[in-house]
Amino acid sequence: MPLIERLTIIGTGLIGGSFALALRKAGEVGTVVGAGRSHENLETAQALGILDKIAPDAASAVKGADFVLLAVPVGQTEGVMQSIASSLEPDAVVSDAGSTKQDVVAMAQRHLSANLTRFVPGHPIAGAETSGAQAARADLFNGKNVVLTPLPETNFKALVKAQSAWQACGAKVSIMNASQHDRIFAAVSHLPHLLSYALVDMLASRPDSDLFFNYAASGFRDFTRIAGSNPEVWRDIALANRDALLTELGAYASKLEELKAALSTSDGDALKKIFSRAQEARNTWAKQD
Amino acid sequence: MPLIERLTIIGTGLIGGSFALALRKAGEVGTVVGAGRSHENLETAQALGILDKIAPDAASAVKGADFVLLAVPVGQTEGVMQSIASSLEPDAVVSDAGSTKQDVVAMAQRHLSANLTRFVPGHPIAGAETSGAQAARADLFNGKNVVLTPLPETNFKALVKAQSAWQACGAKVSIMNASQHDRIFAAVSHLPHLLSYALVDMLASRPDSDLFFNYAASGFRDFTRIAGSNPEVWRDIALANRDALLTELGAYASKLEELKAALSTSDGDALKKIFSRAQEARNTWAKQD
């Protein structure tokens, strides 16, 4: 018997579609039902073998499901929770795939009522420059990290089921609390996005911006790649993780002050110390990753 | 007759070696003589067909040369200028390949005396994760930008010869003054390096740094790639271009303040505006580049 008998995916894009494909490949899912805002995308998902059935809406999609994955943009998560709460089966495990977790936990506390004990917030760390069902692939999560941030109310059986599902997709699953998750990702993901957007906008705002862009080369290309990310998505993430991000922004501003002080006094030793520590840490990380 | 009859390369690494190979391929160089600190590297360069002759020191290397390229680390440039000044031929064009230009101009003014009229400071924008003669390739500069920053004293014939040499290597040559060069590269190259080092050092300095690095993913990888750069090289560049870099660091700190203000007040519109402008500028640039 597969781990999941009837899986419902709300939002059958890159993440939701890849989750379904990976579970199918592992033989760990029976029927897959999908719902979403774009009927065209759902039909693509069915044509690609991601979905067995298309439901007319989220509430009817979750009927009969023993596992529900919410894989919609974070701005739609709360609405989906509201609409499915009274239709969920009494044993259904619910998970999500949002990049921030304390906000999702708060939404679940507001709307999932009795189902809260079977809610397992999740964050798959799998990059996505592409989107939509046609971008889904069975190996998207292979070797990637997935963080689960159970609530104090989450029951153990639900946590194990969510963990097993992601492991069946090939992911490395870690469990931590939502605030620790948000603190970590503020530093290693949300802050770098802000910093990259900031550099590009600083140059783009200049009257002679062309002059600068004309001479930007490969280092600039790498540093600013994430400034090509979707502005709405990152606005939502920044707002959702505001407090942790402000803390990291403050810490980063202090580090820049330290560099500025060293540079102002032409303190080459201090600069070299910072650069060397960073280089070593970066190269050590890059080798292990 | 080739453009350069006798080329001398001081520092036969990636840049110097590739310059010689490219000119050979173009049929624009007669004899190539090399000098440098590592005899082993010079022998490699000779074995690879980069050099015809190895000179015992920089002063004897420049004798008879009608073109001299200084391609040593910027920290050694001043010493090399001192040692070659009295041995240069009266028609020899001298160029360099340093990442900063006002400092090199000042060194030349101190040491090259009568040869100053034939000094053409240059900066080839060709990335280098590798180094040494064995990394040199004839196509390194193909389609890449090379900036030349002549002094008021530089004579036109010398400028044209340097320009023709880089063009023969396949490079796109631009001419501007040294202060404009340093202002542009402070913004598009030196500042991003500082910012990338700063993020990695901020995380590496934490007692729980492993926790952060464990969850860093592809966006972090791109953003921090330049933090893997050589600390001594970037210390020297930062110090050499201190004033322009401090100006850019100040402008960047203001942009971060703007983001902080928007985030503190949960001003999603302001965040989206900055992110959107940056995304558009970045994508437009990436398409053209």
H or E element in which residue B44 lies: helix B39-47
Please work out, in degrees rounded to the nearest 5, the angle formed at the alpha carbon of residue B77 by the alpha carbons of B75 and B78: 95
CA-based nearest residue in chain A for residue B221: A286
Q: Give the length of chain B.
A: 289
**How many Å apart are CA A139 and CA A168, to the nearest integer?**
11
The verdict on A277 touching B (C-beta cutoff 8 Å) is yes
Question: From A281, which residue of chain B is nearest by alpha-carbon distance?
Answer: B204
Q: Which residues in chain B belong to E strands, given as ranges?
A: 4-10, 29-35, 53-54, 67-70, 93-96, 119-120, 122-124, 145-148, 172-175
**What pTM value is reported for the model?**
0.91
**Cα gap A45→A195, rounded to integer Å:** 36
DSSP string, A168-231: HTT-EEEE--HHHHHHHHIIIIIHHHHHHHHHHHHHHTSTTHHHHHHH--HHHHHHTGGGGS-H
Task: For chain A, say whether B47 makes contact (Cβ under 8 Å).
Answer: no
Distance from CA of B88 to the nearest CA of A (A): 32
Is the Cβ pair A202, B229 closer than 8 Å? no
Tell me which of A188, A193, A214, A232 to substitute to probe the interface with B (most B C-beta atoms closer than 10 Å): A188
What percent of chain B clears pLDDT 90, i.e. is strictly above it? 94
Measured in angstroms, the CA of B80 and the nearest CA of chain A are apart by: 22
pLDDT at residue B289 in the model: 65
Task: Inform me whether the C-beta atom of residue B234 falls under 8 Å from chain A C-beta atoms.
Answer: yes
Per-residue pLDDT of chain A (289 residues; tens, 9 = 90+): 999 999 999 999 999 999 999 999 999 999 999 999 999 999 999 999 999 999 999 999 999 999 999 999 888 999 999 999 999 999 999 999 999 999 999 999 999 989 999 999 999 998 666 678 999 999 999 999 999 999 999 999 999 999 999 999 999 999 999 999 999 999 999 999 999 999 999 999 999 999 999 999 999 999 999 999 999 989 999 999 999 999 999 999 999 999 999 999 999 999 999 999 999 999 999 998 6
Contact predicate A197/B271, CB 8 Å = no
**Is any Cβ of chain B less than 8 angstroms from the Cβ of A87?**
no
A:B CB pairs within 8 Å? 278
Per-residue DSSP letters for B175-229? E--HHHHHHHHIIIIIHHHHHHHHHHHHHHTSTTHHHHHHH--HHHHHHTGGGGS
A271 CA: distance to closest CA in chain B (Å): 6
Rounded to whole angstroms, the Cα distance separating A184 from A219 reads 25
Instruction: List, for residues B220-240, the tens digit of each pLDDT value.
Output: 999 999 999 999 989 999 999
What count of Cα atoms within 13 Å lies in the side-chain half-sphere of residue A181? 28
Distance CA B180, CA B187 (A): 11
Buried b (16+ CB within 10 A) or exposed e, A189-224: bbbbbbbbbbbbbbbbeeeebebbbebbbbbbbbbb
Chain B contact set for A289 (CB, 8 A): 216, 221
Distance from CA of A148 to the nearest CA of B (A): 13
Residues of A in contact with B212 (CB under 8 A): 184, 187-188
pLDDT the model gives residue B123: 97
Minimum CA–CA partner of B123 in chain A? A215
- What ipTM does the predicted assembly reach? 0.91
CA atoms lying within 13 Å on the CB side of residue B158: 26
Angle between helical axes of B242-264 and B178-185 (0-180°, round to 10): 40
Residue of B99, B146, B199 to mutate when probing chain A, most A C-beta within 10 A: B199
Exposure of A261 in the CB half-sphere (CA atoms within 13 A): 8
Look at strands A145-148 and A172-175 and give their pairing: parallel
Nearest to A216 by CA among A194, A198, A199: A199
Choose among B102, B247, B239: nearest CA to A268: B239
For B263, the enclosing helix (H) or strand (E) is: helix B242-264
Average pLDDT over residues B264-287: 97
